[in-house]
């Protein structure tokens, strides 16, 4: 669906006077982080079962006009579990103060949310998160036996001439649509630069202004769909 990032030296130059994104080379430990087996296995299974067993889910696309896919429910992790995640995040990014942003009268970010999405409910949709609401995002994969190619991908803009553009939204723009002045782009407008595979109990953390997406979704019945716990933070 998305072309892999080719050898940059073989590509033409970016066209002049076109919308653009900033570029930051992807580097583990700098703008994204991965930790496997984050919780003890028994605890991770307990969290997954607790999420699957929720009775009241909020529906997203394609069932409502929401832009986010599938369905989700708040409070994926309990306080003590969330504290472990946030303490790890602080160490990784070198910040002492992180918080979930809440702006009166504006859209609110849903953090510590379980999200459940099946293969017929969405596909990969490159995007960035609002810079007003998030500086860092994280997710924990919670399927014991996930399908391949269902992790998280990061992208670079691909121009019609094949040139590779940037991969992140920076000031003064808030999100991808704001920076590129379009609401959507076709798959051929992106190079897939990195794909992190879905693995049970793996947590990934990344700068939320990087262009990213779920690599794909799977499953049709509730317990077979792609389950993640999703988080967003601002920081000092």
Could you read off the pLDDT of 135-185 as tens digits, one per residue?
Answer: 999 999 999 999 999 999 999 999 999 999 999 999 999 999 999 999 889
Domain ranges of the chain: 28-235
User: Going by C-beta distance under 8 Å and a sequence separation of 6 or more, which residues neighbour residue 6?
Assistant: 164, 191
Sign (positive or negative) of CA dihedral 4, 121, 197, 205: positive
pLDDT band (50, 70, 90) for residue 5: very high
Nearest CA to 233 out of 168, 137, 140 is that of 137
Q: What is the pLDDT of residue 1?
A: 76
What dotted CATH number matches 28-235?
2.60.120.620
Residue 50 has pLDDT above 80, yes or no: yes
Q: What is the pLDDT of residue 106?
A: 65
Judging by beta carbons within 10 Å of its beta carbon (0-12, 13-18, 19+), is residue 61 exposed, middle or buried?
A: middle
Tell me the pTM.
Answer: 0.96
- Omega prior to 172 cis, within 30 of 0: yes
Rounded mean pLDDT of the chain?
Answer: 96
Residue 207 has pLDDT above 80, yes or no: yes
**Mean pLDDT, residues 111-116:** 98
Q: What is the pLDDT of residue 48?
A: 98
Nearest CA to 20 out of 179, 136, 137, 209 is that of 179
**Mean pLDDT, residues 85-92:** 98
């Amino acid at each position: 669906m998305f072309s892999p990032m080719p050898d940059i030296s073989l590509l033409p130059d970016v066209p002049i006077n076109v919308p653009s994104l900033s570029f930051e080379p992807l580097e583990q430990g700098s703008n994204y982080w991965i930790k496997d087996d984050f919780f003890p296995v028994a605890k991770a299974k307990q969290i997954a079962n607790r999420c699957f067993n929720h009775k009241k889910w909020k529906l997203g696309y394609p069932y409502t006009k929401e832009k986010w896919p599938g369905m989700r429910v708040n409070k994926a992790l309990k306080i003590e579990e969330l504290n472990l995640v946030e303490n790890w995040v602080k160490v990784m990014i070198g910040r002492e103060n992180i918080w979930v942003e809440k702006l009166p009268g504006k859209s609110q970010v849903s953090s510590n949310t379980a999200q459940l999405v099946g293969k017929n409910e969405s596909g990969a949709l490159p995007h960035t998160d609002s810079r007003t609401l998030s500086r860092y995002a994280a997710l924990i994969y919670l399927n014991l036996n996930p399908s391949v190619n269902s992790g998280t991908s990061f992208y670079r803009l691909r121009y019609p001439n094949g040139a590779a553009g940037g991969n992140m939204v920076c000031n003064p723009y808030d999100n991808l649509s704001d920076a590129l002045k379009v609401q959507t782009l076709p798959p051929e407008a992106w190079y897939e630069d990195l794909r992190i595979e879905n693995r049970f109990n793996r947590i990934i953390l990344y700068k939320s202004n990087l262009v990213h997406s779920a690599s794909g979704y799977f499953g049709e019945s509730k317990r077979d769909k792609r389950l993640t716990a999703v988080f967003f933070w601002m920081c000092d």
